[in-house]
Amino acid sequence: MPDAKPLHPGLFTWPSPSPSLIGSRCLDCGEHAFPGQSSCRACSGQNTAVAELGNEGALWTWTIQSFMPKSPYHTDETPETFRPYGVGYVELPCGLKVESRLRENDPEKLRIGMAMKLEIVHVRKYSDGSDLVTFQFCAAEEDS
């Protein structure tokens, strides 16, 4: 996906051979946020900086989205091609838990505590024909 564009800027480093999530860190209290924000949810301060959050973590909880969501869901899928997807919170090394789609959609393959890694995946085609991409997590032991 060399010409791919992020669906939304500033969520992950791109282009990059090893994309990492991007958030913010409060310079006053040290708490992290994802997506990054200019004010701090923990201490109400306004002294934050952009921070790379890494690309691995442990699965904190999960579910499976079994039906195709209504708008504002917006991918290339149709009701015929829709494939259920996993959703989970992945606990990053800094302790922050990030909500993400998961590649796995089989409840038998997901368990709390399993090691996860970041990947960048296709969402839909942009009007100029290029790929729009976003982040998701998958099991770390797969194809690694």
Residues forming contacts to other proteins in the complex (CB under 8 A) are 7-8, 11, 23, 31-35, 41-42, 60-67, 69-75, 85, 87-89, 91, 94-101, 107, 112, 123, 134
137-140 long-range contacts, CB within 8 A, separation 24+: 137/57, 137/59, 137/88, 137/90, 137/100, 137/101, 137/102, 137/103, 138/102, 138/103, 138/104, 139/103, 139/104, 139/109, 139/114, 139/115, 140/56, 140/114, 140/115, 140/116
> Least distance from C-beta 141 to other proteins, angstroms?
20
Q: Which is nearer to other proteins, 15 or 93 (CB)?
A: 93
> Least distance from C-beta 140 to other proteins, angstroms?
19
Q: Which is nearer to other proteins, 77 or 117 (CB)?
A: 77
> Least distance from C-beta 82 to other proteins, angstroms?
10
Q: Which is nearer to other proteins, 27 or 42 (CB)?
A: 42
> Least distance from C-beta 14 to other proteins, angstroms?
13
Residue 113 CB neighbour total at 10 angstroms = 8
Q: Which is nearer to other proteins, 13 or 75 (CB)?
A: 75
What token pair was written down for 19?
A: 């994309």
Greatest CA separation for the chain: 50
